[in-house]
Amino acid sequence: MPPKFPTLTPLELEIMKVVWQKGRATVREIHAVLKTRRPIAYTTVMTMMGVLATKGHLKRQVDERAYIYRPTRSSAAAMKLMVAEFVDRVFDGAAQPLLVQLVKDRRLTKKELEDLARQIEEG
């Protein structure tokens, strides 16, 4: 059975970040933001937002002549699902190897490690 909210592709995540920032948006508004970053066709954005709606990440309603898209969950909730799916898929559900890898790759600063240790102690 496929996941209820499949993992976001890089382009889908880029679109979702803009929608989360705006709270609600049309394809035209999302396209305007994305095209300032790189060339992207309006039809590509329109197709991807339709895919995101089909996957359950966005909901849409008709407003005069355009669809208004809203996220179905907060960015924090979506990230939680994405991290859980990543840990399950890559690390067979074990988070410790991920943390070890982050420490080994020096992706966590000393302060971040201290904050993490404090959060672990607090439960």
Using CA atoms, how far apart are residues 57 and 70, in angstroms rounded to an integer? Answer: 9
pLDDT band at 1 (very low <50, low <70, confident <90, very high): very low
Task: Please tell me the total count of domains within the chain.
Answer: 2
Question: Do 111 and 67 have their domain in common?
Answer: no
The fraction of the chain above a pLDDT of 90, given in percent, is 63
Question: Do 54 and 15 have their domain in common?
Answer: yes
Question: Do 38 and 55 have their domain in common?
Answer: yes
For every residue of 50-77, DSSP letters joined together read HHHHHHTSEEEEEETTEEEEEESS-HHH
Question: Do 64 and 19 have their domain in common?
Answer: yes
| Average pLDDT of the chain, as a whole number | 90
3-state secondary structure of 118: helix
Residue 112 has pLDDT above 70, yes or no: yes
In a domain, 81, yes or no: yes
51 lies in which domain range?
Answer: 10-71
Rg of the chain (C-alpha set): 18
In a domain, 57, yes or no: yes
Query: What pLDDT is recorded for position 24?
Result: 96
pLDDT band at 110 (very low <50, low <70, confident <90, very high): confident
pLDDT band at 72 (very low <50, low <70, confident <90, very high): very high
CA 34 vs. chain centroid, Å, equals 16
Query: What pLDDT is recorded for position 5?
Result: 62
3-state secondary structure of 90: helix
Question: Do 17 and 64 have their domain in common?
Answer: yes
3-27 tens-digit pLDDT: 566 789 999 999 999 999 999 999 9
Model's pTM, two decimal places? 0.80
Single residue among 71, 93, 110 that ends a domain in this structure = 71
